[in-house]
Amino acid sequence: AFGWASTLDIGATGVHRLVQALAWPWHALWPAAVPDLSLVEHSRFRHERPLGDLPGLSGQWWRFLLMCLLVYVLLPRVVAYLWLRLRLVRAQARLFRQDPCLAGWWQRLHLPLAERRSEPVHHAPPESETTTGTTEHALPPIDHLLCWNQWQPRWLETARARLPQPLAGQDCTPAEGWPAQRGAAVLLLCQAWEPPTGELADFCERMQNAQVTVYLWPMPLPGMPAERAAALHRSWELFMPQLPACCHLLELSTDED
């Protein structure tokens, strides 16, 4: 049972207008949940009649009370939860995009587990047993002068000063654009301080297919200490077993004549 009372000077008509305003969101969907004026008048609480004029009508307020709980209590909480949840998701996504540490951590959590297995190590045969990566200490007959990567003019001049004529007078052609000539012998100037890469190995494979003999000269920077130059040359010696048999490593003196 439900009854209403007020200490204000307000009658059933005023309360009915208030009830209609509260029931406006659902008045078209559920008209039975909108109390009429008669129900409001007969359910007013009085001390002499606690249940109103017609006690049987007091139980008809349940539809209105139920809709008030749903619309004004439950629905705002659901809407607020969904709105705050959406803002939280967007804030997390923005944080993951802006913070590289969190982005990497989140990616590791969602990627499948990867297993890594070590492959057996095959040791390279000793230099006495291999036919690749031989080191030449004297300059053999050369047909063309090539250079690997970009060279500054002063570096090329330093390299030419250590080469005999007429090789020293040749233009240094970029190796990437040189058309391979079958049976030729080329001197490939390399920058000793730059580690050898897979692109260089691919170039040597093409020269092997064209039957071109390649002499690699990893030239150190002018003025580089001898210990540093020797260490760089050893790193190139370790790279030579990966190259085909047409490639040979040169070890020429870099001292001024």
Enumerate residues 6+ apart whose C-beta is below 8 A from 101.
Answer: none
**The one-letter amino acid at 250:** L
145 vs 257, which has greater pLDDT?
145
Neighbours of 247 (CB within 10 A): 25
What's the pLDDT tens digit per position in 33-83? 888 888 888 777 776 665 555 556 667 888 898 999 999 999 999 999 999
* Total-model pTM: 0.44
39 vs 106, which has greater pLDDT?
39
Buried b (16+ CB within 10 A) or exposed e, 69-108: eeeeeeeeeeeeeeeeeeeeeeeeeeebeeeeeeeeeeee
214: exposed, middle or buried (Cβ count in 10 Å: 0-12, 13-18, 19+): buried
Q: Using CA atoms, how far apart are residues 243 and 245, in angstroms rounded to an integer?
A: 7
Enumerate residues 6+ apart whose C-beta is below 8 A from 223.
Answer: none
| Sign of torsion over alpha carbons 156, 158, 162, 167 | positive
- Give me the pLDDT at residue 51, please: 53
User: 4 and 44 in contact (C-beta within 8 Å)?
Assistant: yes
Residue 151 has pLDDT above 90, yes or no: no
User: 178 and 154 in contact (C-beta within 8 Å)?
Assistant: no
User: 142 and 167 in contact (C-beta within 8 Å)?
Assistant: yes
- Give me the pLDDT at residue 256, please: 40
Give me 31's structure tokens: 């008209």
Q: pLDDT tier at 135 (50, 70, 90 boundaries)?
A: low
- Give me the pLDDT at residue 255, please: 46
